[in-house]
């Protein structure tokens, strides 16, 4: 259903276009860079922006002053800008105080950060409590050090002032008020994989869901890492009880294999669903247990909330050399990785939204499938043999306790085939849907006396027509 709404080539191009457009913006924990990024996202998906004022208490945190920057540089005596914010917004330590001064090299040196082991790359640094600082490549640093203790003009045209912290929400209502949460952080400056890739995949996923009907309501949160998620949780404590599944999306443009970090619960439905999708993709992947390190799954899975939220990524944070450096640029992004990540997210949503529990109203012996046009002739094609097997498995395990994913896992058949079987059986009156609002409840098996009579059924022609409709549903293949 959702997969069919996405054209892979077009989606890949749209994600890259978004990333290139917001790449130059200087995003930080607060400020105009985050607001402009959210405004751009709002051109494609419905987005409500919340501003949390400076000084607001949010759980154990307090919203800091807002920070914005206009320009920054280090200039030598001849007027040459030897370090220029205009060339890379990573050159300035995030949240630096404004400064205009003339300093000698020995005075300037303590304010400089480099990566000696990666001499051509600029590090990414943020320090909300510190004074000010610059980041530069180690080769730049060595070239300046070789000049001796000469003077430099230092300018950081930046300001910390009372303002607000911004986050955006895209809410897509479904038939149920229960929610599925997706979260992406929006606080990094010009870093492509971390996390413009997560923002881009989240946007395209929301765009696809907005075009389709769905059971669950879907909520996409775009917020600064850590404090942004904490602000959202503080403002939505009661709403968190509605969250049935959730994913943090990050680092999805790197060509490495998919990696899934489980929720704190470790056995949540989302953990089972993501692992199933990754296994079905037939490409390399890794499943990791929860740790209280990483992205905003730490906040959603803090013990007071303990939400069923995992983290889907490719190569994890800190495990690819370009992480948090100027080398995490657009050249690092593999368009096929973006498309593959989106396809996997769509496959996850397909199962989340359609893994119902059903009840077989005729549990005593198999129903006469032939009169419902659901029994294949001997020697039928292998595809129909697989469908027949799916019919039998679905009938047998539809006891109100097993979801369609449970049946797919138990039978070894693919989820779309089990879903197709359930749809055909439902149309013939041979399955009943349990109440999705109370999936943990016993749907209640009927006695022989209660079953009685013939179940309502479609004519054979109507049943065949339904199967033809279902045949057209084919999930988009992921990259292998």
Contact between 310 and 264 (Cβ < 8 Å): no
Please enumerate, as own/partner, the contacts of 299-304 that have beta carbons within 8 Å and a separation of 24 or more: 299/226, 299/229, 299/230, 299/233, 300/181, 300/183, 300/229, 300/233, 300/246, 300/248, 301/263, 301/264, 301/265, 303/264
| Predicted pLDDT at 4 | 57
Of residues 448, 401, 441, 396, the one with CA closest to residue 422: 396
> Rounded CA gap, 262 and 292, in Å?
11
Tell which wins on pLDDT, 245 or 461: 245
Grade residue 467 by pLDDT with cuts at 50, 70 and 90: very low
The mean pLDDT of the chain is 90
Name the burial class of residue 77, with classes exposed (0-12), middle (13-18) and buried (19+) by CB atoms within 10 angstroms of its CB. exposed
Overall average pLDDT of the 56-61 stretch: 98
pLDDT digits (tens, 9 = 90+) for 292-341: 999 999 999 999 999 999 999 999 999 999 999 999 999 999 999 999 99
Overall average pLDDT of the 55-72 stretch: 98
Overall average pLDDT of the 174-180 stretch: 97
Grade residue 413 by pLDDT with cuts at 50, 70 and 90: very high
Of residues 40, 25, 4, the one with CA closest to residue 203: 40
Q: What tokens appear for 313 in the block?
A: 């990524």
Overall average pLDDT of the 65-70 stretch: 98
Overall average pLDDT of the 344-350 stretch: 97
Paired sense of beta strands 399-403 and 357-359, if any: antiparallel
Alpha helices in 87-236, H assignment, sequence order: 105-108, 138-145, 197-210, 227-235
Q: Which secondary-structure segment (H or E) carries 211? A: none
Overall average pLDDT of the 375-383 stretch: 58
Contacts of 476 (CB under 8 A, 6+ apart): 3, 4, 6, 8, 343, 346
As a residue count, the chain comes to: 480
> Rounded CA gap, 139 and 158, in Å?
26
Phi first, then psi, for residue 67 (nearest 5°) are -125, 130
Overall average pLDDT of the 201-212 stretch: 96
Could you tell me what percent of the chain has a pLDDT over 90?
84
Overall average pLDDT of the 466-479 stretch: 36
Contact between 392 and 366 (Cβ < 8 Å): yes
Could you tell me what percent of the chain has a pLDDT over 70?
88
Number of H helices and E strands in the chain, helices first, is 14, 19
Grade residue 385 by pLDDT with cuts at 50, 70 and 90: confident
Asked if pLDDT for residue 478 goes beyond 90, the answer is no
Asked if pLDDT for residue 475 goes beyond 90, the answer is no
pLDDT digits (tens, 9 = 90+) for 221-263: 999 999 999 999 999 999 999 999 999 999 999 999 999 999 9
Grade residue 355 by pLDDT with cuts at 50, 70 and 90: very high
**CA max distance for the chain:** 97
Within 10 Å of residue 166's Cβ, how many Cβ atoms? 27
Grade residue 381 by pLDDT with cuts at 50, 70 and 90: low
Buried b (16+ CB within 10 A) or exposed e, 433-442: ebebeebeee
Asked if pLDDT for residue 166 goes beyond 90, the answer is yes
Grade residue 403 by pLDDT with cuts at 50, 70 and 90: very high
> Rounded CA gap, 196 and 34, in Å?
12
> Rounded CA gap, 138 and 143, in Å?
9
Which residues on adjacent β-strands are paired with residue 399? Answer: 359
pLDDT digits (tens, 9 = 90+) for 17-39: 999 999 999 999 999 999 999 99
Asked if pLDDT for residue 45 goes beyond 60, the answer is yes
Tell which wins on pLDDT, 325 or 473: 325
Of residues 227, 186, 224, the one with CA closest to residue 57: 227
Overall average pLDDT of the 116-141 stretch: 96
Tell which wins on pLDDT, 436 or 458: 436
Grade residue 1 by pLDDT with cuts at 50, 70 and 90: low
Grade residue 468 by pLDDT with cuts at 50, 70 and 90: very low
Overall average pLDDT of the 143-152 stretch: 98
Q: What tokens appear for 214 in the block?
A: 């769905």
| Predicted pLDDT at 2 | 56
Overall average pLDDT of the 265-274 stretch: 97
């Amino acid at each position: 259903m959702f997969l069919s709404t996405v054209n892979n080539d077009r989606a890949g191009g749209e994600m890259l276009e978004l990333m290139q457009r917001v790449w130059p913006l200087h995003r930080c924990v607060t400020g105009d860079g985050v607001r402009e990024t959210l405004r751009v996202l709002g051109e494609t998906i419905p987005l409500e922006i919340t501003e949390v004022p400076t000084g607001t208490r949010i759980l154990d945190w307090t919203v800091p002053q807002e920070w914005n920057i206009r320009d920054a540089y280090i200039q030598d005596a001849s007027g040459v800008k030897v370090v220029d914010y205009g060339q890379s917004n990573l050159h300035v330590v995030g949240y630096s105080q404004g400064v205009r001064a003339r300093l000698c090299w020995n005075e300037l040196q303590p304010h400089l950060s480099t990566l000696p082991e990666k001499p051509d790359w600029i590090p990414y640094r943020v320090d909300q409590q510190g004074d000010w600082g610059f980041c530069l490549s180690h080769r730049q640093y060595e070239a300046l050090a070789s000049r001796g203790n000469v003077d430099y003009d230092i300018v950081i045209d930046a300001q910390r002032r009372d303002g607000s912290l911004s986050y955006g929400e895209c809410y897509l209502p479904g038939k149920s008020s229960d929610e599925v949460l997706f979260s992406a952080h929006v606080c990094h400056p010009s870093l492509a994989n971390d996390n413009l890739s997560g923002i881009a995949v989240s946007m395209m996923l929301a765009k696809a869901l907005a075009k389709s009907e769905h059971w669950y309501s879907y909520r996409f949160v775009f917020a600064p890492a850590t404090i942004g998620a904490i602000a959202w949780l503080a403002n939505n404590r009661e709403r968190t009880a509605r969250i049935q599944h959730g994913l943090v999306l990050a680092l999805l443009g790197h060509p490495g294999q998919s990696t899934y970090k489980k929720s704190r619960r470790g056995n949540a439905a989302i953990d089972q669903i993501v692992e199933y999708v990754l296994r079905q993709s037939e490409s390399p992947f890794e499943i990791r247990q929860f740790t209280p390190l990483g992205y905003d799954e730490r906040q959603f899975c803090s013990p007071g909330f303990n939400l069923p939220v995992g983290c889907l990524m490719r190569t994890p944070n800190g495990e690819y050399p370009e992480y948090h450096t100027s080398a995490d640029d657009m050249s690092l992004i593999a368009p096929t990785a973006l498309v593959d990540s989106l396809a996997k997210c769509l496959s996850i949503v397909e199962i989340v939204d359609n893994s119902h529990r059903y009840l077989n109203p005729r549990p005593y012996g198999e129903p006469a499938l032939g009169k419902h046009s659901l029994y294949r002739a001997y020697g039928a094609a292998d595809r129909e043999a697989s469908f027949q097997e799916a019919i039998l498995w679905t009938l047998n395990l539809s006891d109100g306790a097993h979801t369609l994913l449970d049946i797919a896992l138990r039978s070894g058949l693919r989820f779309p085939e089990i879903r197709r079987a359930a749809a055909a059986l439902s149309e013939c009156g041979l399955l009943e849907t349990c109440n999705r609002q109370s999936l943990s409840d016993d749907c209640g098996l009927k006695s022989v006396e209660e079953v009685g009579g013939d179940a309502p059924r479609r004519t054979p022609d109507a049943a065949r027509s339904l199967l033809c409709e279902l045949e057209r549903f084919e999930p988009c293949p992921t990259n292998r």
